[in-house]
Amino acid sequence: MKKTIPLTPAESVVLSLNSGSSSLKFGVYRVTAVQTERLLSGEAETLGAGKSGFHAMDAQRHSIANEDQSMTTMAQVMQRIDKLIADSHLPALDAIGHRIVHGGPKLRQPCRIVHDVILELESVANFAPLHTPASLEVIALAAQTFPGLPQVACFDTGFHEHMPEIARVLPLPKALRSQGIQRYGFHGLSCESIVQQLGADMPARLIIVHLGNGASVTAVRRGVSIDTSMGLTPSGGVIMSTRSGDLDPGVLIYLMREKKLDAAAIETLVDHESGLLGISGADSDMRRLHTAAATHADARLAIAMFCYSIRKHIVAMMAVLSGADMIVFTGGIGENDAIVRSIICADLAWAGVTLNDARNKTLSNPVSDASAGCVVLVLPSQEDEQIARHTAAAFS
């Protein structure tokens, strides 16, 4: 039998929940004033797809659950997480923290989840229809599964709250802007975790390149976001796995007028059928596209367009920052795909960005050449740890 891990005074134990439309990442963290320690972490994925997966690791990254089973609901996942925590003999939970993609104009900074917060999230759910309904379901299930525990909402938009007007304001009539239609920016918890990891090594001019199923590029000046590629919703900006990123508005008007697509059909098109999937006509997963690229011209085009889109936005952020001292790649693709990093950076030597091929392949930071004018690092996106920090701070 495993021994219970003791909890000492001035520490909090937080369950972080990071929900997607068909997945849920989770972690249990011990948070003190000086460090955040992972006690357990895992993910439930492809829920409702017939064959779902549930995987978890302990503090030493040893597997403690590796299950392929037909979990079709978030309720089943929450029950499985509850049992996993109990079987692991962890200290009692003090609070639960949630990643919330979009809180609209009123909710940006971490806050305790009370009735009024739920009502506000429901009122702005259309800003992030892929994410907010799933988050609201997880909040309700967490309250049922762990009754009495306080819950905290941590917003992906918070890191970008202080972007200057020139970056935040969209070129629309003021009457619409007053209704909260603006550039919000996302992947904020990921960006915060990069700033946290850099610590005293934070440069004056930093570009964070978060590449996963969703992707974004953010300009950070002295630790503060001053511009980012995503806009009102997480659908904008660079090309993504199934999201189109930025489009000529005329394309959408054409589809509505000539092809008779309604709002739901357009949403499905730009969020689920475009991006890498739409270009390749085959797949949205970069790993499988690399395999297909040897014989599939559209797969090669999808990879090239993705990297081209990222490169253009990196250069745009360089213009915003008047150069760049450091670029950090993060996210599932950013952390694990040396080929993509190499393609993106290949034509940036003029800006001082030169990768060291061997270090890039072996993930030895920095992955840039020693003589490069801009340092390039690969760092993990630690969203769940950031959720735990915010949650503990809300009750300190």
Return the CATH number of the domain spanning residue range 12-155.
3.30.420.40
Q: Is the pLDDT of residue 2 over 50?
A: no
Of the listed 58, 82, 94, 156, which one is catalytic? Answer: 156
CA atoms within 13 A on the CB side of 310: 33
What's the pLDDT score for residue 395? 78
**How many other C-beta atoms lie within 10 A of the C-beta of residue 219?**
25
The pLDDT tens digits for 241-265 are 999 999 999 999 999 999 999 999 9
Tens of pLDDT, residue by residue over 20-67, are 767 899 999 999 999 999 999 999 986 655 567 899 999 999 999 998
In terms of CATH, what superfamily is 201-378? ATPase, nucleotide binding domain (3.30.420.40)
Q: Where in the chain is the domain with CATH 3.30.420.40?
A: 12-155, 201-378
pLDDT band at residue 290 under the 50/70/90 scheme: very high
CA angle 270, 117, 43 (to 5 degrees): 55
Considering only 21-30, 70-79, 80-89, 96-105, which range has the smallest mean pLDDT?
70-79
Which residue, 42, 89, 49, is CA-closest to 66?
Answer: 42
**195 φψ region: left (φ > 0), alpha (ψ -120 to 50), beta (else):** alpha
Pairwise CA distance, residues 202 & 198, whole Å: 5
Q: CA neighbours within 13 Å on the CB side: how many for 2?
A: 13
What global pTM score does this model have?
0.94
Model confidence at 3: pLDDT above 90: no
Active site residue 156: yes
